[in-house]
Structure 1
Amino acid sequence: MRSLKGAAARGLGTSAVLAAALALPLSFAPAAGAATADRTDDRLSAGESLKPSESVKSDNGQYKLIQQAQGNLVLYGPGGNALWSSPASGSPAYATMQREGNLVIYNALNKPLWSTNTAGNAGAYLTVQDDGNLVIYSADNRFLWSRHAYVGSLPSGHTLKAGQWVQSENGQYQLVMQKEGNLVLYTKDHKARWTTPTADAPGAKATMQKEGNLVIYSSSGKGVWTSPTAGNPGAYLAVQDEGNVVIYSKDDKPLWSPKQTG
C-alpha cells in the first residue's frame, strides 16, 4: 500500500552552479505578499522570504543561513565554513517559506529553481538550530525535512551526499548514503535490509536523475551503480512505511524495487 502522494513527492528542476555573487537588479522583488524575515529570529515562518544577502541565524549565533545573490541558499557554521548549500542557478534569487509548506528558491522572474518538496503542510516553518541543523517543521512541530534528511522520498533531480538519508514517514526505515560509498536501507534498530555493492567508493553520492534512474557516483564523478529505470523523466525514489524502497514514475507507477533481506 503506497504511503506517499505523488504530487508531493516530485521535485522541482535544479541546477548545481556555485558562482561569484552577482549584482542585484533594480527590478528584483520577492513574490507578492511575502514578508522579509526577522533576522533576529532563528526561523523563517510561513509567508516570509529571504532576499539576497539576508539571513536567519541560530539563537546561539554560531550558524547563519544566507540567501546568496547568485541563487544558492547557504548555511555557514563557526569560522564561516559552509556546511550546506542548495543548488543554484547562477542568477539573482530569493527564498520563500511558502504558506503551503514548501521552501522554494525563485529567480528574479519568479521562476522556481529549487524546492524542499514539503508542500501540503500549511504553516510549516524553517529553523536554524543551535546544533547546526537546518530543519523544516510542520505547524504542529512534526519533522518534515532537514539538510541531512528527506522524509518519504528523494525527488527527481535531488542528491544524497555522504551522511544524508531518506527516511520513511513513520520513521522506521532509513536509506543512508554512507561515507564508504554504499547506499543502505536500515530498520530502526539498524539492521541492514538492502545495500548497493559500492563500498569501495568513499565519498560517493546518490542522485535521482531527471531522466529517471538512480545513480551512485564516485567522488571523481564516475557512475559506479545505477537502477534500471532510465527513460522515465521525473521519476522519484520512495522509502515507504512498510520498509520498501521503490522508484516510481512521475505519474506514480512503480518502476523498480530492489530485492531485500530480512
Structure 2
Amino acid sequence: MINLKSTCTWALITLAASATLLIAPAADASTTEAISTTQVASVSDVLLPGQILKPGQYRRSQNGVFTLLMQADGNAVLYKGRTALWGTMTNRRASSLVMQRDGNLVVISGRTRIWASNTAGSTNARLAVQNDSNLVLYNSRSKPVWTRSMVLGTLGVNRALKPGQALFSTNRIYRMMMQTDGNLVLVKNGTTPLWHTATGKNPGAWAIMQADGNLIVYSPANKPLWSSKTAPHAGAVLQMLNTGNAVIVYGRTTIWQTSTEGR
C-alpha cells in the first residue's frame, strides 16, 4: 500500500538525527586519544569553506558530546563519546574530509573523490557538528541543505535507508522514501507516488544497497521482503536521477531501473 501519510515532511528529513548506517564503523587506533572529552583545548564545531580534516583531525559540538573525526583508516565518523553514530563508510587510508567552496562536502583519497554530500551549488556552505547529534550543512544564508540523515543523489555500497529516511534527487523533486509502514516508494514533489515495492504492512522495514549489488527491503527481523535481483554486481549503487528515474548502476551500466523517467 502506498501511504503517503507515513512519509516524512522535508522539515523532518532535514532535521532528523538518525544515522543511515547498517553497522556503526569501528574506531581505529587513533580514535580514543583524538576524541577524548578530557582535552582542555578548544575545538571548533564548524568546518568552514575550504577547510580540510586530515587523518586524526576533528570537529566537536559546543557541548563537547559529539565529535566528527577523520580517521586514519579513511572513514569520517561522528561519535558520541566512543560510540559511532554515522560514518562515510569510505575506509581508504590517508583520505581527507574537505568542505569545498562550491558547497560539496567530500572525502578525497589522493585526487579521487570517494564520497560526497552532492550539495555542489551551495557556495560557501559550512558544516556544523550540532549539540543535538546532527551534522548539518548550512548555506551562506544559514539555511540547511543537507543533514546526516539525508542521502542526495546516490545510495552507496552498504548504505541503508531506515524508516522515515529517503534518497533524494539532487534537484529535490524526486525521492525514494522508506515509509514507516515498510513500503519503499518513489515520490514526486512529496505527493505523487510513481513506483513502490509493495511491501506495506511491514512497519519497521528498511532498505539497503548491499555490497553484492542487490537492493533489498528487509523486515525488522531481517527477512527479505523485496529484491532488485541485481546480484552479483559488487560495488553497484542506487541513484535517484533528476529525471525521475531511479537506477542501479554498475560502473557505467544501468542494471535495474524503476522506468519512471519523465513522469
**TM bin (shorter chain):** 0.5 to 0.7
Between the aligned partners of 2:117 and 2:146, the Cα distance in structure 1 is: 9
Alignment of 1:106-117 (within 5 A): 115-116=115-116
Residue pair 1:181, 1:201 contacting (<8 A) in 2 also: yes
Which residue in 1 is equivalent to 2:129?
128
Which residue in 2 is equivalent to 1:66?
68
Between the aligned partners of 1:89 and 1:254, the Cα distance in structure 2 is: 23
Task: Return closer, same or farther for 1:199/1:75 CA change in 2, 3 Å cut-off.
Answer: farther
Residue pair 2:174, 2:187 contacting (<8 A) in 1 also: yes
SS at match of 1:199: coil
- The one-letter amino acid of 1:104's match is V
Which residue in 2 is equivalent to 1:174?
175
- The one-letter amino acid of 1:234's match is G
Question: Does residue 57 of structure 1 match 2:61?
Answer: yes
Tell me which moved more, 127-136 or 145-154.
127-136
Which residue in 2 is equivalent to 1:254?
254
Between the aligned partners of 1:147 and 1:191, the Cα distance in structure 2 is: 25
CA displacement 1:21-79 (0-9 Å, x = unmatched): 746699x9xxxxxxxxx823433543321765843326xx4973332879661254xxx
Which residue in 1 is equivalent to 2:163?
162
Between the aligned partners of 1:185 and 1:171, the Cα distance in structure 2 is: 12
Please, what TM-score do these two structures have when normalized by structure 1?
0.64
Task: Return closer, same or farther for 1:202/1:94 CA change in 2, 3 Å cut-off.
Answer: farther
User: How far is the alpha carbon of 1:166 from its aligned partner?
Assistant: 1.0
User: How far is the alpha carbon of 1:227 from its aligned partner?
Assistant: 0.2
Task: Return closer, same or farther for 1:128/1:21 CA change in 2, 3 Å cut-off.
Answer: same
* Aligned Cα root-mean-square deviation (Å): 4.5
Residue pair 2:69, 2:78 contacting (<8 A) in 1 also: yes
Which residue in 2 is equivalent to 1:211?
212
Structure 2: state its 5+ residue gaps: 1-20, 35-41
User: How far is the alpha carbon of 1:187 from its aligned partner?
Assistant: 1.7
- The one-letter amino acid of 1:115's match is W
Structure 1: state its 5+ residue gaps: 1-13, 29-37
Alignment of 1:69-80 (within 5 A): 73-74=77-78, 76=80
SS at match of 1:193: strand
- The one-letter amino acid of 1:135's match is V
Between the aligned partners of 1:57 and 1:126, the Cα distance in structure 2 is: 11
- The one-letter amino acid of 1:168's match is S
Residue pair 1:117, 1:155 contacting (<8 A) in 2 also: no
SS at match of 2:44: coil
- The one-letter amino acid of 1:66's match is L
User: How far is the alpha carbon of 1:140 from its aligned partner?
Assistant: 9.0
User: How far is the alpha carbon of 1:16 from its aligned partner?
Assistant: 3.7
Please, what TM-score do these two structures have when normalized by structure 2?
0.64
How many equivalent residue pairs? 229
Tell me which moved more, 41-50 or 120-129.
120-129
